[in-house]
Homo-oligomer: A and B are copies of this chain.
Amino acid sequence: MTIRALVFDVFGTLVDWRSGVAREAQRLLSAHAPGLDAGAFADAWRGRYDPSMETVRSGARPFVDLDTLQTESLPEVLAAFGISGVPETVRAELVQAWHRLDAWPEVPAAMARLRERFLLAPNSNGPVRLMVDLARRNGLIFDAVLGAGYSRDYKPKPALYRDAVAAFGFAPEETMMVAAHSNDLAAAASHGLATAHLARPSEHGPAGGETAPSVPVTYAARDLADLADQLGCH
Interfacial residues, chain A to chain B (CB-CB below 8 A): 119, 127-129, 131-132, 135-136, 141, 143-146, 149-150, 167-169
Contact = CB atoms under 8 A, between A and B. Distances in A.
Contacts of A145: 143-145
A84 B145 CA distance: 40
Q: What DSSP secondary structure best describes chain A's contact surface?
A: helix
- Which A-B residue pairs are the 10 nearest by beta carbons? A128-B167, A144-B145, A129-B169, A132-B143, A128-B144, A129-B168, A141-B141, A132-B144, A119-B132, A150-B150
B119 A168 contact: no
Contacts of A127: 167, 169
A115 to B, nearest CB: 10
A135 B143 contact: yes
Contacts of A129: 167-169
B144 A131 contact: yes
A168 B135 CA distance: 13
Contacts of A150: 149-150
A5 to B, nearest CB: 9
Contact of A132 (B128, B132, B168): B168
A76 B144 CA distance: 33
A143 B136 contact: yes
Given A131-B144, A144-B144, A144-B145, 12 more contacts: A119-B136, A127-B167, A128-B144, A128-B168, A129-B167, A132-B144, A132-B168, A135-B143, A136-B143, A141-B141, A149-B150, A150-B150
A103 B213 CA distance: 44
Contacts of A119: 132, 136
A119 to B, nearest CB: 6
